[in-house]
Amino acid sequence: MSSLDNNWFTEVFQDQGTAFSLQVRRKLHEEQTEYQKLEVWETETFGNLMVLDGCVMLTSRDNFLYHEMMTHPALFTHRDPKKVVIIGGGDCGTLKEVLKHPGVGEAWQVEIDERVTRVSEKYFPELCESNQDPRANFFFGDGIQWMRDQPPGSVDVIIVDSTDPVGPAEGLFALDFYRDCMIALREGGIVVQQSESPLLHTDSIIRGIHDDMKKAGFDHVQTLPFPQPVYPTGWWSCTMGGKAVHTSYFREEDAADRPFVTRYYNEGVHRGALAMPQFMLETLDDPVRPAEG
């Protein structure tokens, strides 16, 4: 057994008995925002690293895996997305991917902590290069209330690019929030939620998302696993809910002929991500459990 010196940043997952470390050169930024502790580190091999309340959020090297999978499967599942809303996503990487779609006419980033966006503009400028796009709109405040206030049938795709379901993000993993999303979406609309690790959370968080989306009225719910080296287990997922649209089918020809560059996503990756492992199928294909009480 070897131990790490002070030149490493380590996130410990105490309840799982595991940890993840990156060798670092120096701390670039630290502040206590109104909502959380925000740090940026320069690492030896993964570029810059953003940490919120001690939890790894992203690195320069591998964030494209997450941002592309949170975005393109949902947008290519929708028949013709025009208005897209991102709840969270303060680093602007998801917004950048959304705006690669030329058919999108309006995109909103609704982030509770403006400091995440301002710090990202300085230390992750490559993620913020579309912030000046005329289609990009920003609202800094409570995403739950913002969604509740949207006119019925006014949005095509909702991307819930949140942190873990604790603290400010806890209400984004709730039945009432999915009901508000259902009302705000047009017919054929899609909601997609980051849904944690398949290995650690299928029987808890992911199962809960499936149940709540179905109870909220989403006809079809689908989880797509994908790699994410800096998150717990190195394996992550997003979960889509469709409003009168099947989330297991997508515009394959459009995905193959996409007029923009991706580093991970393509039509084959999308198709493969729809094939969930057996242990997930056995957990998630059960009927929706009745509400308690």
Enclosing H/E stretch for 251: none
Distance CA 58, CA 66 (A): 9
Helices of type H across 82-204: 93-98, 114-123, 143-148, 175-184, 198-201
Give phi and psi for 71, each to the nearest 5. Answer: -110, -60
161 among known catalytic residues: yes
Collapsing DSSP states into helix, strand and coil, what is residue 61? coil
User: Residues 62, 113, 161, 180: which is the catalytic one?
Assistant: 161
Residue in the block written with tokens 């499967």:
73
Active site residues: 161
